[in-house]
Structure 1
Amino acid sequence: MPRPVSDRIMTMRLPLSKDNFATIISVYDKHPTMTNPDENKEAFYQQLASVLSGISRTDKLLLIGDFNARIGRENDKWPLVMGKHGIGKCNSNGELLLALCSEFELIVTNTMSSRRMTARRPGCILVPDTGI
């Protein structure tokens, strides 16, 4: 059953087998966060971090959404978080997103392949690094 956390964050925990679960966190920012004050952005990421902290480490995790963030293509600072196939230049929202990913051992998967996401498939999918 979907569980709203706020008007921008929703979670859903799905059983996969007897003792295995997947948690999906859907994030959508209907307001342009680049124009929001820094304290609003930080409050959003603190709330998202709180949600992530409450997810069982054994759950498969998908964090999907529109973060209004550009993480750029420079992965030297974030090699465990992003691949070499980002686009554009990193913005302040991208820095916040990358820091969150680093804290929770998440990977921006659409930067791991040179195959670009199309306009019909916006956002990014972040998954825990399972060592695979």
Structure 2
Amino acid sequence: MTNPNENKEAFYYQLASVFSGTPRTDKVLLIGDFNTRTGRDNYKCHLDVGKHGIGKRNSNGEFLMALCSEFELIVTNTMFKQKEERKTTWMHPRSRHWHTIDFIIARCRDKMDIHSTRAMRGANCWTDHQMLRSKVALRIHQEHNRQGTSKPTKFNTAKLRTTSHRESVEQEMDSALAQWDEKETSTAGRI
């Protein structure tokens, strides 16, 4: 039987290898049941946890916080001030205390894209966990043309005003569409 800490380390090692292979410019949302507690009192020394956490951090939380620190991630559940019932996602069956063990995690530089993260108490998900909902407005930046890449061809539509040029373009388009129809009918019989 394997040591549970070895399993945790292997899991977070795999997760770290996925993050290290992901470009830093990509938007990332890591969503899941991590069975960790991030705690409430540690926000002063960590950028990865907001000041609205629940309870105390456990050993699993240390693994998660190490991952967040290494890859500049933030736990979005802890960023927003809200009622306790909207923060907690799971109730311990014996103690009947509510805990936050499910998380939505994003890159620190994208935290302005996250408008809220909260637990949905009324959702029937056929599980003992509460569903998490996050309102996200993704701002995707357009890539700039790099030096040496060609720009798309622009067509001179002013030439279409002359009847001779317009007729030649129409003939070329008719022949291209006829060839397309022939290819389509020949492949339709094979499917």
Q: Which whole-Å CA distance do the structure 2 matches of 1:122 and 1:94 have between them?
A: 9
Alignment of 1:49-68 (within 5 A): 49-68=16-35
Gaps of 5+ in 2: 91-99, 113-191
Quote the RMSD (CA, aligned, Å). 2.0
> How many residues are aligned here?
96
Aligned to 1:129: 108
Q: Higher relative CO (CA 8 A, sep ≥ 6), structure 1 or 2? A: 1
Richer in helix (by share): 2
Aligned to 2:44: 76
TM-score by length of 1: 0.66
Q: Which whole-Å CA distance do the structure 1 matches of 2:19 and 2:70 have between them?
A: 10
Q: Which whole-Å CA distance do the structure 2 matches of 1:125 and 1:107 have between them?
A: 9
Gaps of 5+ in 1: 1-35
Offset of residue 77 of structure 1: 2.8
SS at match of 1:127: strand
Q: Between Structure 1 and Structure 2, whose CA radius of gyration is higher?
A: 2
Shift of the 86–59 alpha-carbon distance from structure 1 to 2, 3 Å rule, reads: same
Percent identical: 64
Q: Which whole-Å CA distance do the structure 2 matches of 1:96 and 1:118 have between them?
A: 20
Q: Which whole-Å CA distance do the structure 1 matches of 2:4 and 2:67 have between them?
A: 18
Offset of residue 114 of structure 1: 1.4
Letter in 2 for 1:117: K
Q: Which whole-Å CA distance do the structure 1 matches of 2:61 and 2:71 have between them?
A: 15
| Cα contact 2:36–2:101 (8 A) shared by 1 | no
Shift of the 45–122 alpha-carbon distance from structure 1 to 2, 3 Å rule, reads: closer
| Cα contact 2:38–2:53 (8 A) shared by 1 | yes
TM-score by length of 2: 0.46
Letter in 2 for 1:114: K
